[in-house]
Chain A
Amino acid sequence: MESISERLARYLAHRMPEASDLEISGLTRIHGGASRETYRCTARWQEHGLDYERGLVLRRDPVGSLIETERSVEYAAYATFQDSEVPVPELWFLEEDERWLERPFFVMTEAPGQAANPFASEPYGSQAEAIGEQFWRILGKISSTTVTGTPIAAQVDAPGRENAWRRELDHWENVIDADELVPQPIVRAAIRWLRRNPPPPPERLAIVHGDYRTGNFLFDEQGRVTAILDWEMCHLGDPLEDLGWALDPLWAGTTPERPGQLLDRTRGIATWEGASGLTVDQDALRWGEIFAHVKGSAIWISGSREYASGTNHDPVLLISGWLCTARHAEIIAERFVHLLEERP
């Protein structure tokens, strides 16, 4: 049976008619991409008498995953930010035809650098401030990108500003309705609160990364952020949605005042405001943060369903189903006990 390397080489040769002697070597699966199968490899070929070599990343649809998304949305998000102030890998090809690799996939260049384990202690060491400044500034650039005419705008629906919150909350509540294995009294109470206390409309409709957090970007030894990754949940909506997600204590280890174990919260938000030109409404941000806890819970619940049903045996789904669901329940409960204490 033909290996993935051989099949990918055959595909690339098909897409690159000027190339000859195209070879794929060193193909290895990368752990952590629970929403898509992710592989790293090296492509070598000749073209017009010259030798070429590129590190590539292959993102193939899984059988089942934490997040059920269209690869075309992720591809369009990467396409939106090619050659921009938001660093992303260079895109090569999107392929929906399943005859090549059994499932749809896309290919892009491998960006330099490494991703942090979001659950490690102080993964950025002495570079936390420098990386944190870039982390929040780049998010500000995403939030301030003009939506009209972008590849992502052509791929996803634009909600009205008034309804952006409702569309997202409906979506993730539906996920919980469909996938919960046990009742979720904490998450259900948070959803009821979100519906009783809707946020004001956002200043502008923005591109929302959808999973902007520590662990989803690459950084190099010099402390430069080299690529923002994992755009599979990208959509149009309230930019505070990304802010709330990035601020979630789940990603902060033991330092919730320093989201993502990067900059302290106040500086992070100020950096985002400076880069985006937007001002944070505190009530809206609180809504966005509680929504982030609910959305996270929905993702872990959905992954648990995949694992329990046998659709996907990736043990990462099991761990996230136990660890992250429990942590988000703790975060929400603590938050609501404090909200009750603040109530007159």
Chain B
Amino acid sequence: MRPSVDSALRTLAATLLGEIAPEVRSSYRQSSVQVVAIATLIIATEYERAADVRTWENAAIREILRRHAGLVADPTRRARLEDAAASVDADLLISTLDAANADLERALIDLHAEIEGIEGPAARDAEREVWTFLRESARRRSVRLG
């Protein structure tokens, strides 16, 4: 048996907070150690969920683009959104997922801006769908202390 990465990080954070910080004489440096410990706790959470958040987001954005790219009148811009919708995650490395996520979010920004300027219920439905996704994404990426 060996410690999992997130549990090791949490233990390291507890060591920094409970054992090392109290021994640091400079109050400024002591606060810095505490902040590093908090950052370590955040990294532990991020490590555990990173792949899950990104694969979910990438799939959800592709689905939004696939469903609503047709609202975009300009054929060049529409084609770019359709290409993004058809993309795939090449592997599950976080760096790969992040690169794909950035490309997809740029496409989502373009779609979102476009549909805001379109009249009619289809555009309003699409806008609602985008915001519902964005809210869920923000919730999944939220950072809580403690």
Query: B116 to A192, Cβ gap below 8 A?
Result: yes
With a cutoff of 8 Å between Cβ atoms, the chain A residues found around residue B105 in the complex are 182-183, 185
- Map CB proximity to B onto A321-343 as digits: 1 under 8 Å, 0 otherwise: 01100110110111011001001
Instruction: Say whether A189 faces chain B, with CB atoms less than 8 Å apart.
Output: yes
Asked whether A340 and B127 contact (CB < 8 A) given A31-B28, A318-B39, the answer is: yes
- Interface-centre pick from B26, B27, B36, B131 (highest chain A CB count, 10 A): B131
Q: Which residue of the partner chain, among A28, A196, A315, contacts B39 with CB atoms under 8 Å?
A: A315
Is B87 part of the contact surface with A, judged by Cβ < 8 Å?
A: no
Q: A329 touching B106 by the CB < 8 A rule?
A: no
Interface of A: prevailing SS? helix
Query: How many angstroms from the CA of A327 to the CA of B42 in the assembled complex?
Result: 13
* Chain A residues closer than 8 Å to B102, beta-carbon distance: 182-183
Interface size on B, residues (CB 8 A): 36
Q: Are A29 and B135 in contact (CB under 8 A)?
A: no
Q: How far is the CA of A329 from the CA of B142 in the complex (A)?
A: 8
In the complex, B35 has a CB within 8 A of chain A: yes
**Which of A32, A315, A330 sits near B142, CB closer than 8 Å?**
A330
Complex contact A31–B32 (CB within 8 A): yes
Contact B141 A326 (CB under 8 A): yes
A333 touches B39 (CB 8 A): no
Selected from A318, A319, A326, A333, the residue in CB contact (under 8 A) with B131 is: A333
**Smallest Cβ-Cβ distance to B30: which chain A residue:** A31
CA distance A152 to B78 in the complex (A): 50
Q: Of B3-11, B69-77, B107-115, which stretch is located at the interface? A: B107-115
Q: Does B15 contact A (CB under 8 A)?
A: no
Question: When chains A and B are docked, how far (Å) is the Cα of A188 from the Cα of B130?
Answer: 13
Q: Which of A119, A183, A319, A332 contacts B109 (CB 8 A)?
A: A183
CA distance A318 to B38 in the complex (A): 10
Contacts of B38 in A (CB 8 A): 319
Task: Find out whether the CB atom of B112 lies under 8 angstroms from the CB atom of A185.
Answer: yes
**Is A233 part of the binding interface, using a Cβ–Cβ cutoff of 8 Å?**
no
Apart from A31-B31, A323-B143, list 12 A-B contacts with CB within 8 A: A31-B32, A183-B105, A183-B106, A189-B131, A315-B39, A322-B39, A322-B46, A322-B143, A323-B42, A326-B142, A326-B143, A330-B142
Chain B residues near A (Cβ < 8 Å): 26-28, 31-32, 35-36, 38-39, 42, 46, 98, 101-102, 105-106, 108-109, 112-113, 116, 124, 127-128, 130-132, 134-135, 137-139, 141-143, 145
* 6 A-B residue pairs with CB within 8 Å: A189-B116, A329-B141, A334-B138, A337-B132, A337-B135, A343-B124
